[in-house]
Amino acid sequence: MKTSEKIIEKTEKYGAHNYHSKEVVFEYATGARVTDPEGRKYFDMLSAYSALNFGHLHPEIVAAAKEQLDKVTLTSRAFHNELLCDFYESLCKLTGKNMVLPMNTGAEAVETSLKTARRWGAFVKGVEDGKQEIIVCNNNFHGRTITVISMSSDPSCRKGFGPFTPGFVNIDYGNIEQLKAAITPNTVAFLVEPIQGEAGIIVPPEGFLKAASEICKENNVLLIADEVQTGFARTGKMFACEWEGVEPDIYVLGKALGGGVMPVSAVVSDSSILGVYEPGSHGSTFGGNPLACAVSIKAMEILVRDNYPKMALEKGAYFMDKLKELKNPDILEIRGRGLLIGVEFKVPAAPYVKALIANGVLAKETHEMTIRFAPPITISYEEIDLAMEAIRKAIG
Ligand code: PLP
């Protein structure tokens, strides 16, 4: 039998050590439940960093994938497939935008949004090509490519990876005065996470997104919302920008868009912005492939039909209330929106994470002091109660 120990040993032996994975092997998983090779059972409270909003193996999404597996999985964009148009339509209906550019991973979608903003700056706004500036926030997390880490303020993401891509200006997250001061005639975009996920579930000061959106409009600067982690109902709204009634010019989407089955990401905007591309200017072999489209279309259908934003809002409030009853003097703050919740400690959180896992709750610390709780939105109230029993044993 392949034991957890042997699997982990082999993984560490052959794989680059760019992750420090917790010592749990997923053998089977459905909904919010995970079983390891030894038969131990866990609640998944990370959901692959919000990519599993629909839970593991959502039966309808799996059925859509299986059906497509018998038809066609990959065409490349050299040819058409019958589902890409429907994927576009669903995403436009969900966002209220009218144009989509499909990619695979979140980082690729972020890169695509940066290329879009630069081109729009050069072709539409009239900024001299090569002079475009994009404003980003300190403590952001937008992915791992060279250009994306060029925007990062986290030394561990950057060390040894220079030279970096120029053209970015960093401001403090939530600081509207700094945003105003950073805008120049060459500014083409402001890229922001509506809630900073990897930084430790940081909710910006109330009114920040709204004010940022107005300042962007006044200065003909595109507002790009990176909703890769916060989108698709995670925070109790379809998109987290809705918390402040903000409609960004560009949505960057990923993770849950793939229904927990395929990597699917996209940049969604209007033709006045995404219209800057012509054939040959950008692309991806796998972007928009029919298998990805099949699972994503089904995922979006379920999201609306079953009112996932309401589910996340109500279950999030229930879960948050229970977490707030925890009595532990090491807890500094509990914050978040919907089912994206951070418990910040005054001390390193790793020992608490270890205790959680020993009690059957899978979670991981982010930025040392904060534990993120982001279970599948499909988790039941009974499962939240059961998980809370384990959380109380481990933390409370
Ligand atoms: N943007 C945000 C806000 C994210 O949280 C992440 C991943 O955690 C990414 C982008 C990058 O996504 P991916 O890992 O799919 O490249």
* Cα–Cα distance for residue pair 171/166, rounded to 1 Å: 15
* Ligand 1, atom nearest to 265 Cα: 15
Res. 250: pLDDT tops 90: yes
- What pLDDT, on a 0 to 100 scale, did the predictor assign at position 238? 98
* Ligand 1, atom nearest to 193 Cα: 3
Ligand 1 site-directed mutation target among 141, 146, 201, 367, most atoms within 8 Å of CB: 141
Q: Read off the CATH number of the domain in which 147 is found.
A: 3.40.640.10
Q: Residue written as tokens 């692309």?
A: 283
Is residue 331 a part of any domain in this protein? no
**Each residue of 100-154: pLDDT tens digit?**
999 999 999 999 999 999 999 999 999 999 999 999 999 999 999 999 999 999 9
Residues with CB under 6 A from ligand 1: 49, 105-107, 110, 141-143, 193, 197-198, 226, 228-229, 254
Is residue 275 a part of any domain in this protein? yes
* Cα–Cα distance for residue pair 15/109, rounded to 1 Å: 26
Is residue 198 a part of any domain in this protein? yes
- State whether residue 285 is helix, strand or coil: coil
- CB-based burial label for 17 (10 Å; 0-12, 13-18, 19+): exposed
Query: Ligand 1 center to residue 143 CA distance, Å?
Result: 5
The model's pTM is 0.98
Q: Residue written as tokens 């229930």?
A: 318
- Give me the torsion for CA of 221, 224, 225, 227, rounded to 10°: 180
Beta-bridged to residue 340, according to DSSP, are 337
Sequence-ordered strand ranges (E) for the chain: 28-30, 33-35, 41-44, 99-103, 133-137, 168-171, 187-192, 222-226, 250-253, 265-269, 331-337, 340-345, 361-362, 364-366, 370-373
In single-letter form, the type of residue at position 198 comes to E
Sorting pLDDT into bands at 50, 70 and 90, what band is 290? very high
Is residue 143 a part of any domain in this protein? yes
* Ligand 1, atom nearest to 252 Cα: 1
> Of the candidates 83, 78, 148, 136, which has an alpha carbon nearest to the alpha carbon of residue 112?
148
- CB-based burial label for 242 (10 Å; 0-12, 13-18, 19+): middle
Is residue 1 a part of any domain in this protein? no
Containing domain of residue 165, as a range?
A: 60-305
* Ligand 1, atom nearest to 108 Cα: 16
**Each residue of 295-335: pLDDT tens digit?**
999 999 999 999 999 999 999 999 999 999 999 999 999 99
Query: Ligand 1 center to residue 8 CA distance, Å?
Result: 25
Whether 141 is catalytic is yes
Res. 1: pLDDT tops 90: no
Beta-bridged to residue 29, according to DSSP, are 34
Residue nearest to atom 15 of ligand 1 (CA): 106
> Is residue 373 a contact partner of residue 353, using CB atoms and an 8 Å limit?
no
Sequence-ordered strand ranges (E) for 61-107: 99-103
Is residue 253 a part of any domain in this protein? yes
**Each residue of 153-167: pLDDT tens digit?**
999 999 999 999 999
Whether 210 is catalytic is no
**What's the number of domains the chain is made of?**
1
Is residue 224 a part of any domain in this protein? yes
- What pLDDT, on a 0 to 100 scale, did the predictor assign at position 25? 98
CA atoms within 13 A on the CB side of 343: 30
- State whether residue 141 is helix, strand or coil: coil
In the chain, the percentage of residues whose pLDDT exceeds 70 is: 100
**Each residue of 173-232: pLDDT tens digit?**
999 999 999 999 999 999 999 999 999 999 999 999 999 999 999 999 999 999 999 999
- What pLDDT, on a 0 to 100 scale, did the predictor assign at position 367? 87
Contacts of 80 (CB under 8 A, 6+ apart): none
- What pLDDT, on a 0 to 100 scale, did the predictor assign at position 396? 86
Query: Ligand 1 center to residue 21 CA distance, Å?
Result: 17
> Is residue 332 a contact partner of residue 125, using CB atoms and an 8 Å limit?
no
> Of the candidates 310, 333, 328, 321, which has an alpha carbon nearest to the alpha carbon of residue 384?
321
Candidate list 36, 208, 239, 255, residue with the active-site label: 255
Candidate list 141, 239, 286, 373, residue with the active-site label: 141
Query: Ligand 1 center to residue 200 CA distance, Å?
Result: 14
**Each residue of 53-98: pLDDT tens digit?**
999 999 999 999 999 999 999 999 999 999 999 999 999 999 999 9
Ligand 1 site-directed mutation target among 108, 112, 136, 142, most atoms within 8 Å of CB: 142
* Ligand 1, atom nearest to 144 Cα: 16
Residue 347 DSSP class: S
- CB-based burial label for 86 (10 Å; 0-12, 13-18, 19+): middle
- What pLDDT, on a 0 to 100 scale, did the predictor assign at position 13? 98
- What pLDDT, on a 0 to 100 scale, did the predictor assign at position 340? 98
> Of the candidates 230, 282, 272, 278, which has an alpha carbon nearest to the alpha carbon of residue 251?
230
**Average pLDDT of every residue of the chain:** 98
